[in-house]
């Protein structure tokens, strides 16, 4: 069925978005060093993420260190941490509900299709909310990087560029949003509308009236 295919496609896309989102959350590549000067030889490059920063040297050696204090971080970094973790937890809950309510699974039995469709629609909404929650820190971080890059009051060594993790994060958000939408659309209530029948006796026996008229005509001839 087409609805089952939409559910499977939505689940697959949402799971991919969840996996990419987890990788982006852990990767220290949200901000990278910006080389705005005329230097031809770069000795080292700084990578910054939500949980750690790394120093990559031209010799190939990479040193990473987690942030010493969470409270010492800027408010935007703390909010980004909270939103990304919340988004990943919502994805986990939505995945459990989506698998339990999918038409191709038998977690709740085959007789309770209405409840399964309701669970899958809730899972689709949760994936949509998770995608929007993940999109906010990605877009805010990109805005802050671009704003500081063009700020003349910030020294050149302190300027940063968009890291690869941000581009992967945008892709994860798109997968979550598209997957959640497909999962919700493909979870229409099972069966069609029930049409009430009035005068069921007359509809079940359509020839009753004609048979009665025939008997009356026979009696008149007698």
Specify if 74 maps to a domain. Answer: yes
Residue 123 half-sphere exposure, CB side, CA atoms within 13 Å? 30
Specify if 43 maps to a domain. Answer: no
Specify if 7 maps to a domain. Answer: yes
Q: Which residues of the chain have pLDDT under 70?
A: 1-2, 36-42, 108-111, 188-222
> What DSSP string describes 49-118?
-SSEEEEEETTS-EEEEE-S-STTS-HHHHHHHHHHHHHHHHHHHHHHHHHHH-TT--SS-SS-HHHHHH
Specify if 135 maps to a domain. Answer: yes
Specify if 56 maps to a domain. Answer: no
- pLDDT tens digits for range 146-164: 998 888 888 887 888 999 9
pLDDT at 36: 67
Residue 99's domain comprises 2-29+70-186
144, with CB counted inside 10 A (0-12, 13-18, 19+), is middle
pLDDT at 42: 63
Specify if 206 maps to a domain. Answer: no
Number of independent structural domains in the chain: 1
- pLDDT tens digits for range 117-154: 888 899 999 999 999 999 999 999 999 999 988 888 88
Specify if 193 maps to a domain. Answer: no
- For the entire predicted model, the pTM comes to 0.78
pLDDT at 105: 74
Place of tokens 């500081």: 148
Specify if 41 maps to a domain. Answer: no
CATH of the domain at 114: 1.20.140.150
pLDDT at 79: 93
pLDDT at 130: 96
């Amino acid at each position: 069925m087409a609805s089952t295919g939409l559910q499977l496609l939505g689940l697959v896309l949402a799971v991919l978005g969840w996996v990419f989102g987890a990788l982006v959350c852990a990767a220290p590549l949200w901000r990278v060093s910006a080389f705005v000067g005329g230097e031809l030889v770069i000795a080292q490059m700084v990578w910054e993420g939500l949980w750690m920063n790394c120093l990559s040297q031209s010799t190939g050696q990479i040193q990473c260190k987690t942030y010493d204090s969470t409270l010492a971080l800027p408010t935007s970094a703390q909010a980004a941490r909270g939103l990304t973790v919340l988004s990943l937890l919502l994805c986990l809950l939505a995945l459990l509900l989506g698998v339990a309510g999918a038409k191709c699974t038998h977690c709740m039995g085959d007789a309770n299709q209405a409840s399964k469709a309701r669970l899958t629609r809730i899972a689709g909404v949760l994936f949509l909310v998770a995608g929007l929650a993940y999109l906010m820190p990605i877009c805010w971080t990109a805005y802050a990087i671009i704003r500081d890059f063009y700020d003349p009051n910030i020294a050149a060594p302190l300027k940063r560029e968009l890291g690869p993790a941000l581009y992967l994060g945008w892709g994860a958000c798109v997968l979550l949003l598209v997957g959640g939408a497909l999962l919700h659309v493909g979870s229409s209530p099972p069966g069609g509308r029930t049409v009430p029948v009035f005068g069921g006796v007359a509809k079940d026996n359509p020839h009753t009236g004609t048979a009665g008229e025939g008997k009356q005509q026979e009696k008149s001839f007698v």
